[in-house]
Amino acid sequence: MAERKDAVASGSMWSELFQFGVYKRSQGRIARQVTFFVLVILFAVGSWSLSRYLNPAWLLGWTGIEISGNANDAIRYGISSAMLAIGVWFSFRLVNVPRFADFLIAVEAEMNKVSWPTRPELFRSSVVVIVLLLLLTVVLFVYDIAWRFLFEALGILGSPKE
């Protein structure tokens, strides 16, 4: 029985990727749009990287087919553009898969409940953190110098001048 549920769940996931509808269109829009654009940026960077490093002559070398420079560029950019288009479609469909879309809707609902600090509170908190980090840095530097002096005096460490 468990195998049947897994098969149905995976089958519905794949069938969901090939639909055109938008799941709960008006709910969780910001979280879904941000997720979509981040995924598209990742696919764009991957496609750009693919277009830089893909060498169709190397891929087709085993077939004995030789291609010219223009055809090489056309194949390289065509493959990377196709990968980008597939990535954009996959990103669009992923944010509309019901389970993932419900998760993003819940994330946006929780983010709306957060009590965000005002600008003066944020500034004061940032100043406190920066000052404490600087003080901790000074304290650790003094400890380092003291321990180095002690270890050199005991002969455990050699003097850096020796």
Q: What is the rounded average pLDDT of the residues 117-131?
A: 96
d(CA 80, CA 61): 19
d(CA 115, CA 73): 52
Q: How far is CA 59 from CA 43, 54, 63, 67, 77, in A?
A: 22, 9, 9, 11, 14
Q: What is the rounded average pLDDT of the residues 1-30?
A: 62
Would you place residue 5 in the very low, low, confident or very high pLDDT band (cuts 50, 70, 90)? very low
**What pLDDT is recorded for position 160?**
60
Give the ranges where the chain is alpha helix by DSSP (H): 2-17, 29-53, 56-59, 69-94, 98-113, 119-154
Sorted by sequence, the CB contacts under 8 Å of residue 3 that are 6+ apart come out as: none
Q: Is the pLDDT of residue 147 over 50?
A: yes
Model pLDDT for residues 38-74, shown as the tens digit of each residue:
999 999 999 999 888 887 766 666 666 666 667 777 8
* Contact call for residues 130 and 136 (beta carbons, < 8 A): no
Q: What is the rounded average pLDDT of the residues 71-94?
A: 89
67 vs 149, higher pLDDT: 149
* Nearest C-alpha neighbor of 107 from the set 42, 40, 33, 37: 33
Mean pLDDT of the chain: 83
**What pLDDT is recorded for position 8?**
43
**Which percentage of the chain shows pLDDT scores above 70?**
77
* Nearest C-alpha neighbor of 44 from the set 80, 96, 79, 84: 84
Q: Is the pLDDT of residue 95 over 80?
A: yes
Model pLDDT for residues 27-41, shown as the tens digit of each residue:
778 888 999 999 999
**What pLDDT is recorded for position 137?**
98
**What pLDDT is recorded for position 60?**
64
For 21, left (φ over 0), alpha (ψ -120 to 50), or beta? beta
* Contact call for residues 49 and 77 (beta carbons, < 8 A): no
